[in-house]
Structure 1
Amino acid sequence: MSFTIAENRRMPNKVELGQPRASTMGAPMMQLSSWQREPPPSADRYVMGFRLPAWQRGLVWTKRQKISFIESAWRGVPLGTYSFNRAPLGSPLDDLLIDGQQRMNAIECYLRDEFAVFGWRWSEVTEVDQRVWEMAILFESYVTATEDEDYLRSYYDLLNFGGTPHRKSERASNGPN
Structure 2
Amino acid sequence: MMRALKSIPQPIDHGRYFESTLDILNYQLRKYKTQQEQIDTSTSSERFACGWPVPQFQRPLVWSRAQQVAFIESAWLGLPLGTYTLHEEDWDDSGKALPFSGCVIDGQQRLTALEQYWDDQFTVFDLYWSELDHRDMCRFMNIKFAHYRAALWSESEIHDLYNRMALGGTPHTAEQRAGIHDTQ
CA–CA separation in structure 2 for the residues paired with 1:146 and 1:15: 10
State which of 121, 128, 133 in structure 2 corresponds to 1:126.
Answer: 133
**Corresponding residue for 2:19?**
22
CA–CA separation in structure 2 for the residues paired with 1:80 and 1:50: 18
Unaligned runs of 5+ in 1: 1-7
* TM-aligned CA deviation for residue 75 of structure 1: 0.4
CA–CA separation in structure 2 for the residues paired with 1:68 and 1:170: 18
Question: Does the residue aligned with 1:23 lie in a helix, a strand or coil?
Answer: strand
**Corresponding residue for 1:65?**
67
* TM-aligned CA deviation for residue 10 of structure 1: 2.6
TM-score by length of 2: 0.85
Q: Deviations over 1:92-111 (max 9, x none)?
A: 31110000011111101100
Unaligned runs of 5+ in 2: 92-96
CA–CA separation in structure 2 for the residues paired with 1:70 and 1:120: 12
**Corresponding residue for 1:86?**
88
Equivalence map 1:23-172=2 (5 Å): 23-39=20-36, 40-42=39-41, 43-89=45-91, 90-135=97-142, 137-172=143-178
CA–CA separation in structure 2 for the residues paired with 1:163 and 1:122: 31
CA–CA separation in structure 2 for the residues paired with 1:146 and 1:10: 23
Given the superposition, is the C-alpha separation of residues 27 and 139 from structure 1 closer, same or farther in structure 2, using an over 3 Å criterion? same
Higher alpha-carbon deviation: 110-119 or 40-49:
40-49
Residue type of the partner of 1:169? E
Residue type of the partner of 1:56? Q
Question: Does the residue aligned with 2:126 lie in a helix, a strand or coil?
Answer: coil
CA–CA separation in structure 2 for the residues paired with 1:57 and 1:165: 16
Higher alpha-carbon deviation: 28-37 or 54-63:
28-37
CA–CA separation in structure 1 for the residues paired with 2:90 and 2:144: 27
Q: How many residues align structurally? A: 167
* TM-aligned CA deviation for residue 9 of structure 1: 7.6
* TM-aligned CA deviation for residue 145 of structure 1: 2.0
Contact residue 25 and residue 138 of structure 1 kept, 8 A: yes
Name which one, 1 or 2, has greater alpha-carbon Rg: 2
Contact residue 34 and residue 49 of structure 1 kept, 8 A: yes
* TM-aligned CA deviation for residue 170 of structure 1: 0.7
Using the aligned pairs only, state the percent identity.
35
* TM-aligned CA deviation for residue 41 of structure 1: 1.2
What value does the CA root-mean-square deviation take over the aligned residues?
1.6
Residue type of the partner of 1:95? G
